[in-house]
Every structure is written in structure tokens, then in C-alpha cells.
């Protein structure tokens, strides 16, 4: 596996873990019964704003994956030294 593919996979996994954490915290935040002085937003609006970054990131990762796969691996050129 090439270095660009490994870097892409590592970044995609990290982004996936981060978005799962965002979604879990959104659900847990709604479930806690704290007395707050500020009004709470509606659950649908909160869920929408938690899911919008997931959709955008999926589009960006798809486009990036296409670029990573289409780019050929270049062989480094060796300088020819005077013989």
C-alpha cells in the first residue's frame, strides 16, 4: 500500500471517529435532564447541524479518494553524474 493511501485511510478513520463522537455527544446532551437557564434548541435542528458536517465530509473524502487513486506513483529521478 502506498504512502498517500495510508495517510488518506488514517485521516478518514480519524474523521469518522470524531464525527461519531460529535453525534454521541449531541444525543447525550439531549438526554441529560439539567436545569439550564438558556433555552434549548429543537432536537431536529440540533440533529441537522450535527449531520451536515458528516455529509460534507463524505463528499470531500470521496473526491479526495478519487484524486489519490488516479495519481500515479512517480519514480524519483536519479541525477546522472558526469562519468
Cα–Cα nearest to 2, from 57, 79, 50, 70: 70
Q: What share of the chain is helix, strand, coil (3-state, %, to 5)?
A: 70, 0, 30
Q: Give the tens place of pLDDT for each residue, 1-59.
A: 778 888 889 989 999 899 888 888 877 776 665 555 656 667 778 878 888 888 998 89
What is the reported pTM?
A: 0.62
User: Who has greater pLDDT, 29 or 73?
Assistant: 29
The three grid cell numbers given for residue 55, joined into one nine-digit string: 455529509
Mean pLDDT computed over 63-75: 77
Q: What is the pLDDT of residue 27?
A: 78
Whether the CB-CB separation of 2 and 48 falls below 8 Å is answered with: no
Mean pLDDT computed over 51-70: 87
Amino acid at each position: 500500500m502506498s504512502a498517500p493511501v495510508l495517510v488518506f485511510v488514517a485521516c478518514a478513520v480519524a474523521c469518522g471517529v470524531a464525527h461519531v463522537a460529535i453525534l454521541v455527544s449531541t444525543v447525550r446532551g439531549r438526554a441529560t435532564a439539567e436545569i439550564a437557564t438558556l433555552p434549548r434548541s429543537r432536537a431536529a435542528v440540533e440533529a441537522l447541524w450535527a449531520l451536515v458536517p458528516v455529509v460534507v465530509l463524505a463528499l470531500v473524502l470521496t473526491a479526495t479518494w478519487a484524486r489519490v487513486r488516479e495519481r500515479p506513483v512517480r519514480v524519483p529521478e536519479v541525477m546522472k553524474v558526469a562519468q
